[in-house]
Amino acid sequence: MSRSLKQVAVLLVALLCLDPHGRVGSAPICTHGPSGCHVPSLADLFDRVIQHSARMHSLSNDLHSEFEQYFLPSKNHIGKIYRKCHTSNILTPNGKENAQKLAREELTEVILKLLMAWRDPLFQLHQSMAHQQDFNSFSSNKALEMGDMAHELRKGVEKVAEKMRVLGMLGNSVTGLSAAEAMLPISDSGEAMSDYELLYCFRRDSNKVQNYLKILKCRIVPEHDC
């Protein structure tokens, strides 16, 4: 009984949210009182996670270029090294159109998978950087920060997904993302990757996440010029 009521309420909320002026749609959810409480809208949440991912990406970029400066003779060599990132198994759309074609659930799942897959490697990266004298503490702190950011971003995206699900914009298929499943890619990558390779991959993946999030946002909250 209560479940159906809940669904009705959710529907109502969803309708409100779909209202063109609908950022206020989240107001009814607030139980602490109509006035004082402001629950961020989905668009706001998206903006936040996107900003977060952008920061993460630029951080990884900074670190990556530091690495390049110290350890690689010239940038020309980067492309030559054929890299296989441990996240290569995760099927990701590799273009704008592909990403747009992907279902919302799948896109969300991809994002979450990527973020999950980076939890441990980032920790390892920080560990190994902290033990190398070549890096100053600044660099290794960056690595640590990156790990934290990835973690937070994952939490944030999960929250967004949860909310989308609550709003009925997302099917339940994403919920099937278990920790074990997310860990799979890591176990796949057998050989240890060098720090530089890790960074290279993470830089790329963080860029992916950022762009996927943007596309997802455009599809979920279409009133924002998409």
Partner 1 sequence: MQFLIMTFLSPQDLCRLGGTSTYWRSMVRDPVLWKYFLFRDMPLWRSVDHLSVPQVKLTGSAVLDDSEMQFDYMAEYLRVCPACRNQWRHQPRAFESVTSFFQSFVPVSEPQFAMFGPGLEQLEVSLMNTIMYSPHILPIAGIPQRQIDGIGSGISFKYKDQHRFNIATLYSTNRTERERARLEHLNLRSKLFVYEEDSESNIPLSINPMFNQVCQAVNGFIFVANAETERERQQTDVGYIARPLPISFSSAYCPTLGWEMAEAMAYSLSLSLLYLGLLCGNGLVSARGSELFTPDPSRGPHFTGCRSREQETFRCWWSTGTFQNLTEPGALRVFYQTKNALEWQECPDYTRTVENECYFNKTFTHIWTSYCIQLRSVPQNITYDDTCFTVENIVHPDPPIGLNWTLLNVSRSGLHFDVLVRWAPPPSADVQMGWMSLVYQVQYRVKNASHWEMLDLESGTQQSLYGLHTDKEYEVRVRCKMLAFDNFGEFSDSIFVHVAQIPSKESTFPTTLVLIFGVIGVVILLVLLIFSQQQRLMVIFLPPIPAPKIKGIDPELLKNGKLDQLNSLLSSQDMYKPDFYHEDPWVEFIQLDLDDPAEKNESSDTQHLLGLSRSGSSHVLNFKSDDDSGRASCYDPELPNPEDLASLLPAHSGRGENHPLVSSSSPSIPDLGIQQTSEVEETPIQTQPAVHSWVNMDFYAQVSDFTPAGGVVLSPGQLNSSPEKKKEEENEKKIQLQLLSDGAYTSENTARQLDVPPSPGPEQGYHAFPTQAVEGNLWNGEYLVSAGDSQTPYLLPEAPPAPTLPPVSDYTVVQEVDAQHSLLLNPPSSQPALCPHTPNKHLPAMPTMPMGYLTPDLLGNLNP
Residues forming contacts to partner 1 in the complex (CB under 8 A) are 50, 54, 57-58, 61, 65, 69-71, 73-74, 76, 79-80, 82-84, 88, 92, 94-97, 134, 204-205, 207-208, 210-211, 214-215, 217-218, 225-226
Quote the Cα angle for 66-69-72, to 5°.
Answer: 120
DSSP 27: G
Residues 6 or more apart whose Cβ sits within 8 Å of residue 55: 149
Which amino acid is located at 37 in the chain? Answer: C
Least spacing, CB of residue 177 vs partner 1, in Å:
21
Least spacing, CB of residue 178 vs partner 1, in Å:
26
Q: Which of residues 170 and 200 has its CB atom nearest to partner 1 in the complex?
A: 200
Q: Which of residues 112 and 215 has its CB atom nearest to partner 1 in the complex?
A: 215
Least spacing, CB of residue 187 vs partner 1, in Å:
21
Q: CB–CB of 201/189 below 8 Å?
A: no
Q: Which of residues 122 and 215 has its CB atom nearest to partner 1 in the complex?
A: 215
Least spacing, CB of residue 224 vs partner 1, in Å:
8
Q: Which of residues 41 and 60 has its CB atom nearest to partner 1 in the complex?
A: 60
Helix residue spans in the chain (DSSP H)? 2-18, 42-71, 76-80, 96-101, 104-117, 119-131, 137-166, 179-188, 195-220
Q: Which residues of 55-92 are buried (b: 16+ CB within 10 A; e: fewer)?
A: bbbebbeebbebbbeeeeeeeeeeeeeeeebbbeebeb
Q: Which of residues 23 and 55 has its CB atom nearest to partner 1 in the complex?
A: 55
Least spacing, CB of residue 32 vs partner 1, in Å:
33
